[in-house]
Each structure stands twice: as structure tokens, then as C-alpha cells.
Structure 1
Amino acid sequence: MLTLIQYEMKKTAFMKILCFSALLIAQAFVLLGGATDNYVVMGLGAGLLIFFSFLIFFILGLSSMASLSKDLNTTQGYMLFMLPKHSACFLLAKIIESLISTFLAGVVVSLLFSFNIVYFSLDMEFYQDAFEMFWNLVMSGKGFGTLSLYMIRFLATAAAFWIFLSTMAILCVTVQASIFKGKALALVVSIIAFFCLFLYLFSALPELAANISWEYKDPIFYGMIIVLSVGFFALSSYLLEKQRNF
């Protein structure tokens, strides 16, 4: 499994270099504008930094989808799928790689924005007070426990949603490749199907959970997310394994 994850990281390494290079270039414009008091350059850099930050998450989120589409619709994945491993291993490696890459991108973006807030802030007393309040919260035993539980819950929720979206995207690509393998605009069809399914589920699932039980709507909603993720992954693995053995 580790070898497959490393292989997926190598396949998408060039794309990641381009993404982070775009972030660094935008950050360089921000620093250059601040150093020369050129607010036009600084504003342009800030705008590009915000735009690229959102774009990177979008690209990395669809990286597993694009990689699988190439593997199934071109000769790129021919030798890979000749390995004596179940199809679920290949799909799981793509999901894990996408999750790791997105997490690292989130860390980089958070550090850049935190640096800019501190570096260009004029009201340093506000941030100093906020930092002291945060530090006091961390140092108190009860506060540290509460903060830790909040962070764990936030990360777990983000990971659950990311896995749900990844398994949904992989299912769309797998179904498309099974029906329209090698056809033009295959990835575009998969992306359209993914967004349609995404919009439908995220409008229907919360309402369904609330109708079942308003008091426990959140646990029911997250339970649905987990069940659907497992179902999407299992169906994708089955279709891919059937296609390999055909």
C-alpha cells in the first residue's frame, strides 16, 4: 500500500509543484508591494493568493479523479493494474494520497495567511491579546482538553467529508470508464456527473436526517455520509475488478 501511495504522489508531483509555485509567486507580489508601498501590486498579490488558495484545494480534490480517469481511459495505468493486487488497493491509495496532499496544502495556506496577518497588521495589540487568550486556554488543563477535542472533531469531520467526496468522484469515473471507455471528453463527463450527484446528495441528506430525527439529525447525517462512502468505494472496487478481469 505504501508503494502505491508513493507512486500516486510521484504521478501528481509536477501538478503540486505548479500549484505551490503559484502560491509563492502570489506571496512574492504581496511582499514586494508591501516593501515598496505599492498597494496596486500588493492588492494584486493578495487577490491572486486568495484565488490560488481556493483553486489548489479544488485541483487536489479532483486529483484522484483525474489520475484514475487517465489510468482507466489511456494506457497509463496498464502496467499498474497488472500488479497482483485487488482493485480496492489502487483506489484506496488514490484516496489517501489526495487526503494527505490536501492536508499539507491546508497547512501551507494557513501558514501563509497567518504570516501575512501578523506581518502586515497595524493593530498588533489585538493579535497580542488574542494570542495571550489562546495561550492561557491551552495552558489550562480544562481548556487544553476542550481545545484538543474541538480540533480532533474538526479534523475528523473534514476528513470524513473529503473521503465522501473522493469516493463519490472515483465512482463517477469508474462508471464512466465502464460505459464510455476511451471516449472523448471522458473526464468532463465524469466531473459533470460528480457535481450533479454532489448537489443532489448535499441537499437531500440533511433534510432526510432531519425528517428521521430532528434531535439526532447530525449523528444520522454523518452516519449516512459514512455508509455512502463505504458503498461508493465498494461499488467502485467491484466495477474496477470486474473490468480488469474482463
Structure 2
Amino acid sequence: MGRLIKYELKKQQTSRNIILALLLVFLLAVVVGTFTENGNTVGISVMLEMFVGMFVFFYMGIESLLILNRDLKTKQSHMLWMVPMQSWKILGAKYIAAILQIFFISAAYVLAAIACILSLITKMDAWEELFKGLRIGAEWLFQGNMDWITLMAIFLFFFLAWTCVIATGFLAVIVSRTVLINSRFAGIVSFILFFAINAIVEYIYDLFAKYGLMGIHSGLYIGIGECAFYIVACIILFVISSVLAEKKLSV
């Protein structure tokens, strides 16, 4: 399965390189603008980086779906489903590759932001203020002022919700490409199915919240029940996708 993950990551290498190249250009522009005291360069670069970043993360969210659609559409990529390996492993590799891709790009953006801040601190020679701020922040955190459990639950909830959307997209693409083989309407059908399945999942979530099932609460509360729902939903969607792929695509 490790080789499959590397293979899937290789498919995303071109987009990853383009994104990193753009990020590097924006970073260099910010650093140069900071040290040359050119506020316009810094401001324009930061705004462009934020603007492009919105499209980048949107594309990262759907790239795995586009690749899966291509794998089921083109004959060359369709050979992937003829390897002597179970379909759930192939889908799992695609799933993991999508998660690794978004984590990698997110880490690159975080590092770029840190580099921009450090360049500004270096220019202003404000290292003493930085260390003082870090010390105060560390003391504030270690004194128990931050509810780490709630914070981790929020991040986990949104991560699981995102993975559930990806699993929904996988199922929509597989259903459309296995039922409407070689049809020019398969792409449109998968698009409609994606929103339909996602609406069903959210409707079930709202029902569970309404009647307090699985410990799910209504409103903005995020706890174990909310996270557990999306874990179960992801597993169900993944199993259905794997079964369909195994019956319709594998040899």
C-alpha cells in the first residue's frame, strides 16, 4: 500500500510544485519588500498570497476527486484497478494521499508565514520583544488558560467533516463512473450525486442532533458524539465505495 500512496502523491506532484513555486515567489517578494522598506510590495504580495491561497486550498480539496475521476475515465489510468490488490487499498491510498497533500501544503503556508514574520522582526531588530512575547505566551498557556481538549475537538471535528466530504466525492464519482460507463454525462451526474449524498449526510446529522442520538448536541457544541458521527459516516461511505469498486472495476 505504501507504493500506492507514493504513486498517488506522484500524480499530485505537478500541482504541488506549482503551488510551492508561487508561494516561494510571494515569500521572496515580502522579504525583499521588507528589507527595502517598500510597503507597496509587501502589501500587494501578502494580499495576492492570501487570494491565491483560497483557490489553492479549494483545489487541494477537490484534486483527489479529479484524479479519481480521471482514473476511472481514461484507459491508461484504468489499469490501476487491474493490479492484484483489493480496491479498498487503492481507495485508501488515494484517501491518505489526499490528506498528506493538504497537510503538506498547509505546513508550507505556515512556514512561509513564519518566515515573513521573522524577516519583519529581523528588519526591526525586535528579537527581544519576540522572546518576551513567547515567554508570556508560554506562561499563559501552561497556567491552564487554554482549553486544549476543546481546541483539539474543534480541529478534529472540522478535519473529520472535510474527510467526510472527500469520502462523499469518492462515492459520487465511483457511482457515476460505474453506472454510466463511457457516458459524457457521468461528470454532471457525479456532481449532482456529490451534493445529494452530502445533503443526506447532513440531514441525518441534524436528525441525530434534534433527538440527541449518539450524544450529538444541537447548536455550536462540539464533543465526542459529533466527531463520532463523522467517523462512522466516513467509514460507511468508504465501505460502500470499496464494495462498488471491487464489484465493478476489479478483475
TM norm. shorter chain > 0.5: yes
How far apart in 1 are the matches of 2:216 and 2:171?
Answer: 29
Which residue of 210, 215, 225 maps to 1:220?
Answer: 225
Deviations 1:8-33 (A, max 9, x none): 01111111111111211222222233
State yes or no: 1:207 paired with 2:210.
no
State the AA in 1 paired with 2:107: V
| Greater mean alpha carbon deviation, residues 87-96 or residues 54-63 | 54-63
Residues 152 and 172 of structure 1: CA distance in aligned 2, closer, same or farther (over 3 Å): same
CA distance in 1, matches of 2:78, 2:178: 15
Q: Please give the root-mean-square deviation of Cα atoms over the aligned residues, in Å.
A: 3.2
The alignment status of 1:20 with 2:20, answered yes or no, reads yes
Q: After the TM superposition, which residues 104-123 of structure 1 pair with which residues of structure 2 at under 5 Å, given as runs?
A: 104-120=104-120
- CA distance in 2 between counterparts of 1:33 and 1:177 reads 50
Unpaired runs of at least 5, structure 2: none
Which residues in structure 2 correspond to 1:130-141 (within 5 Å)? 130-137=133-140, 140=142
Which stretch of the first structure deviates more once superposed, 64-73 or 116-125? Answer: 116-125
Query: Would you say 1:173 and 2:173 are equivalent positions?
Result: yes
Q: Which runs of 5+ in 1 are unaligned?
A: none
User: 1:208 corresponds to which letter in structure 2?
Assistant: L
Match of 1:241 in 2: 246
Question: What does residue 80 of structure 1 align with?
Answer: 80
- Deviation, 1:201, is 4.3
After superposition, residues 36-51 of structure 1 pair within 5 angstroms as: 36-51=36-51
Shift of 1:75: 1.3
Counterpart residue type for residue 70 of structure 2: K
1:112: how far off?
1.7
Would you say the 8 A contact 1:99–1:162 is kept in 2? no
- Contact 2:29–2:41 (CA under 8 A) maintained in structure 1: yes
User: Residue 68 of structure 1 contacts residue 170 of structure 1 at CA under 8 Å; is this kept in 2?
Assistant: yes
TM-score, length-scaled by structure 2:
0.80
CA deviations over 1:193-233 (Å, ceiling 9, x no partner): 4345446644x355323311297414433332122211111
How many aligned positions are there? 242
Tell me whether 82-91 or 22-31 shows the greater mean CA deviation. 22-31
> How far apart are the structure 2 equivalents of 1:118 and 1:206?
43
